[in-house]
Amino acid sequence: MPIALAANLLAMPVAAQQGQFADPSAIDAEVAAFTGAGLGTPGGARHPVDRRLRLAHCQQPLELAWHGRGADMVRVECPSGAGWRVFVPVNAGSTTAPSAAMAAAARAEPQVVVERGQVMTITVEGRGFAVSQQGEALENGAIGSWIRIRPEGNREVIRAQVRTPQRAVIPLG
């Protein structure tokens, strides 16, 4: 192994050597899927996520939401213990921003992402901890809505807030 390569490997943080950083390309792909437009296209991200960022690997699915006036950015957040958040600017397009139009449509008619009977993860989150288990959605729900869920192996019904199509959360404070 050349000496320069060995020196570079020794200088790298242990997390980088173990692959514990989030892949910026994967974040770019999530943003493209969320906006429905590719990188550099109208309605898509203006630029790729900065490759110099060293974001901790996220153990849970990323949460994406429109942010800013006219929905001109996408907020990408890691809800797990890594706890990071980045904002990705999107192209507005010619005269109207497709992202703003999509955001307005989403506000007018919330899009159902959870359907009754769907199995999903229920997470109870508190300061410094999170406990998860599977459950069955008892009603349809959109991101941000509160729905009734029956935890697996339990007859009791609880209410949790939909965060992603596969996950609902009960925040404890």
Statement to judge: residues 92 and 118 lie in one domain: no
Same domain, 127 and 96: no
pLDDT for 96-121, tens place per residue?
A: 344 455 555 555 567 889 999 999 99
In the block, tokens 């007859």 appear at 155
Q: What is the pLDDT of residue 61?
A: 86
Question: Is the same domain home to 80 and 157?
Answer: no
Mean pLDDT score of the chain, rounded to an integer?
79
Q: Which of 80-94, 107-121, 122-136, 154-168 has the lowest mean pLDDT?
A: 80-94
Q: Write out pLDDT tens, residues 39-97.
A: 888 888 999 998 988 898 888 888 888 887 777 888 898 887 768 888 899 987 533 34
Let me know: does 135 contact 120? Beta carbons within 8 Å.
yes
114, 66, 57, 112: which is closest to 87 by C-alpha?
66
68 and 128 housed in the same domain: no
Residue 150 one-letter amino acid? R
Q: Specify the number of domains making up the chain.
A: 2
pLDDT at 8: 41
For residues 102 and 152, membership in a common domain is answered with no
- Residue of higher predicted confidence among 88 and 3: 88
Q: Is residue 93 part of a domain?
A: yes
**In terms of residue numbers, what domain contains 137?**
112-171
Strands 112-114 and 141-142: antiparallel
> How many other C-beta atoms lie within 10 A of the C-beta of residue 173?
5
**95 and 152 both lie in a single domain:** no
- Classify residue 2: in a domain, yes or no: no
Q: Both 127 and 101 in a single domain?
A: no
